[in-house]
Amino acid sequence: MVKPRMLILRVGGTNCDLETEWAFRLAGALPERVHLNMLKSGEKKLDNYQALVIPGGFSYGDDISAGKVLANKIRYGIKEEITSFIGKGRPVLGICNGFQVLIKSGFLPWPGRQEATLAWNESARFEDRWVYLKVEESVSPFFKGMRGIIRLPVAHAEGRFLVREPKILESIESKKLVLMRYCDSSGRHAGYPGNPNGSAGDIAGICDPSGLIVGMMPHPERALLDFFCPDSRGRGKKGGEGDGYSFFKNVVDYFR
């Protein structure tokens, strides 16, 4: 089988690109870290890749607001290229800062104007901890076999998912665009710190109606191996893949 090529976008302030590259390589893909300027200059062509990934970090120092500068550079620089890429049924994935970028560039929850945001955490501080997540039944193929409760780490100051008006959240829910929700260890609603940011509906990740544009605040690339999880022994596991690995494997398997 030909391994799918993943373009991992990076700019100044990106700091999860190496982990994301390793995650996709471990899952059987051919990832490549590519600077935004290489796409803008034409040195690299997005069409030569099967998926675009915007990893976590603090792009351009998160000046103005988290992900906003990179979102604007995409919107006024390579938006047509990405729109064409999406039109060919190729996935676009955003993790943490990448989720912020996809929201603020108007690609999520559906292409068009910005209908949602990821605002400052209700705690008004940076939140860095492992959380429980309930994987929902969604239209995305990248969460196949992941239904149930998983654990992934979060690390963000601006992760509170909010929408412009109530009917947008109603549409996201009814169209099964919610990927996962913050919860307690039993899968029930969890207030702070279980929900680290106060997101509406405890939402930790969403996708577009095709299921191929995906954004999430938790970091699956930091949970590739089970022993990364702080309670791995308590879960009765004996090593092997962690909860985050399944996501990357599902993305790679999508192309097979």
* 74 membership: H or E segment, kind and range: helix 68-75
Examine the pLDDT at 1 and tell me if it is beyond 60.
Answer: yes
pLDDT in tens, 88-100: 999 999 999 999 9
Q: Write the CB contacts of 29 (distance below 8 Å, at least 6 apart in sequence).
A: 3, 4, 5, 6, 248, 251, 252
Examine the pLDDT at 237 and tell me if it is beyond 60.
Answer: no
pLDDT in tens, 174-227: 999 999 999 999 999 989 999 999 999 999 999 999 999 999 999 999 999 988
Q: 23, exposed or middle or buried, with CB in 10 Å at 0-12, 13-18, 19+?
A: buried
Residues 186 and 112 sit within 8 Å (Cβ to Cβ): no
The confidence score (pLDDT) of residue 231 equals: 76
Q: Write the CB contacts of 219 (distance below 8 Å, at least 6 apart in sequence).
A: 16, 19, 56, 95, 96, 152, 153, 154, 155, 244
The confidence score (pLDDT) of residue 14 equals: 97
Bridge partners of 205, per DSSP, are 180, 216
Examine the pLDDT at 236 and tell me if it is beyond 80.
Answer: no
User: How many alpha carbons fall within 13 Å on the CB side of residue 181?
Assistant: 19
pLDDT in tens, 37-86: 999 999 999 999 999 999 999 999 998 999 999 999 999 999 999 999 99
* High-pLDDT (> 90) share of the chain, %: 89
Examine the pLDDT at 235 and tell me if it is beyond 80.
Answer: no
pLDDT in tens, 149-185: 999 999 999 999 999 999 999 999 999 999 999 999 9
Quickly list DSSP for 161-174.
EEESSHHHHHHHHH
Domains and CATH numbers, the chain: 5-254 (3.40.50.880)
Residues 243 and 152 sit within 8 Å (Cβ to Cβ): yes
> Which positions are catalytic?
96, 219, 221
Examine the pLDDT at 234 and tell me if it is beyond 70.
Answer: no
**Of the candidates 177, 169, 190, 95, the residue with the CA atom closest to the CA atom of residue 137:** 177
Examine the pLDDT at 232 and tell me if it is beyond 80.
Answer: no
The confidence score (pLDDT) of residue 2 equals: 83
The confidence score (pLDDT) of residue 256 equals: 85
The confidence score (pLDDT) of residue 238 equals: 55
Higher pLDDT, 158 or 240: 158
Q: How confident is the model at residue 240 (pLDDT cuts 50, 70, 90)?
A: confident
The confidence score (pLDDT) of residue 228 equals: 87
The confidence score (pLDDT) of residue 147 equals: 85
